[in-house]
Amino acid sequence: MLNYKILDKTSTETLHKTFLDAFSDYQVKIDLPYWKFMQMLQRRGYVPEVSIGAFKNEVLVGFVLNGFRKWNGKSTVYDLGTGVIGEYRRQGITSNMLLAIKELLKDKQVEQYLLEVIKSNTSAVQLYKKQGFQIQREFACFQLDKNKCNLITTHKVEHVDSINLKQLTEFLDFAPSWQNSIDSISAIPEAFLYSIVRVDDTIVGFGIIDKKTGDIPQIAVNKDFRGNGIARSIMTDMIKNTESFKISALNVDDQSKSTKDFFLKLGFEYSVGQYEMLLRI
């Protein structure tokens, strides 16, 4: 007999262990030591009171970890990780957890539930569709081996302690996904390097990279200053200043051909596609 309950009394050490067990055979290799797991929870706004676990004799065997914020002006819960350990799959556990969450969100008057799912994971996509989720956007994810890139600097790049991203949103070609949003960056500001290029003391391009993991949540250039190497210079600087040998750009909007072409020209390789899906409560 399985019990389903919120995760407010479950330690992050337990969550981490079960997370690794559940994703040990995932189609994308998960490299997630405890410090990185904790950073993920913080960045994506983890709230145990809106997260659900499946327990067998008090042992956690499945989970839906959720964040909670305003998203596009609406109170929104975001699925930052759903998994069931191998021996308990195909028993309807994920469906039961999602049903429990939907009831929980109704009680808390949450307006919508957001998630991302790998496009090729057809069973998960179908499960979410059955639960009422609808596809909002398609994302492309890219990776680069730091040792194989040959980047060039043509502009002076500065480092700053922080950036007022709200003032620079007009530089972006698409709205960032949840994990790349201003709120997610602001949740762990010290984790990132902020690289900028100025013209006449005005910022015309910026990039943000995780100093340890090499993840790039945002990079953008003022539309009036594109095509002359500013973005490439920023990228070169960011790559030089991260510890990671793997550089990643996740959740690039599939409609933004210019952004996708930019990464491909720099030597990034397409790694996987995702759907952004939304359920209105």
Half-sphere exposure of 63 (CA within 13 A, CB side): 30
Q: What is residue 143's predicted lDDT score, i.e. its pLDDT? A: 96
**260 within domain boundaries:** yes
Let me know: does 142 contact 263? Beta carbons within 8 Å: yes
Q: Tell me, yes or no, whether 205 and 96 share the same domain.
A: no
Q: Kindly tell me if the per-residue pLDDT of 28 is higher than 80.
A: no
Domain that holds residue 238: 142-272
Q: What's the rounded Cα separation, in Å, for the pair 238 and 193?
A: 7
pLDDT tens digits, one per residue of 167-211:
999 999 999 999 999 999 999 999 999 999 999 999 999 999 999
Q: Tell me, yes or no, whether 81 and 174 share the same domain.
A: no
**119 within domain boundaries:** no
Q: Tell me, yes or no, whether 186 and 82 share the same domain.
A: no
Q: Tell me, yes or no, whether 178 and 262 share the same domain.
A: yes
Q: What's the rounded Cα separation, in Å, for the pair 14 and 86?
A: 17
Q: Tell me, yes or no, whether 104 and 150 share the same domain.
A: no
Q: What is the mean pLDDT of the segment spanning 32-46?
A: 96
**116 within domain boundaries:** no
Q: What is residue 30's predicted lDDT score, i.e. its pLDDT? A: 76
Q: What is residue 153's predicted lDDT score, i.e. its pLDDT? A: 87
Q: What is residue 200's predicted lDDT score, i.e. its pLDDT? A: 94
Q: What is residue 148's predicted lDDT score, i.e. its pLDDT? A: 80
Q: Tell me, yes or no, whether 203 and 255 share the same domain.
A: yes
pTM confidence score: 0.93
**248 within domain boundaries:** yes
CATH of the domain at 40: 3.40.630.30
SS3 36: helix
Q: What is the mean pLDDT of the segment spanning 38-58?
A: 96
Among the candidates 88, 110, 132, a domain finishes at 110
**93 within domain boundaries:** yes
Q: Tell me, yes or no, whether 63 and 171 share the same domain.
A: no
pLDDT tens digits, one per residue of 203-257:
999 999 999 999 999 999 999 999 999 999 999 999 999 999 999 999 999 999 9
Q: Tell me, yes or no, whether 106 and 155 share the same domain.
A: no
Q: Tell me, yes or no, whether 46 and 152 share the same domain.
A: no
Among the candidates 62, 89, 110, a domain finishes at 110
Structure-token match 């913080």, residue found: 42
Q: What is the mean pLDDT of the segment spanning 253-268?
A: 96
Assign 150 a pLDDT band (cuts: 50, 70, 90). confident
pLDDT tens digits, one per residue of 130-149:
999 999 999 999 999 998 87
**120 within domain boundaries:** no
**118 within domain boundaries:** no
Assign 26 a pLDDT band (cuts: 50, 70, 90). low
What's the number of domains the chain is made of? 2
Q: Tell me, yes or no, whether 147 and 266 share the same domain.
A: yes
**46 within domain boundaries:** yes
SS3 24: coil
DSSP at 263: H
- Percentage with pLDDT > 90 across the chain: 91
Among the candidates 69, 91, 110, a domain finishes at 110
Q: Tell me, yes or no, whether 105 and 146 share the same domain.
A: no
Q: Tell me, yes or no, whether 199 and 92 share the same domain.
A: no
What is the full DSSP assignment across 103-169?
A: HHHHHTT--EEEEEEETT-HHHHHHHHHTT-EEEEEEEEEEEEGGG------S--EEES---GGGGG
Average pLDDT, the chain: 95
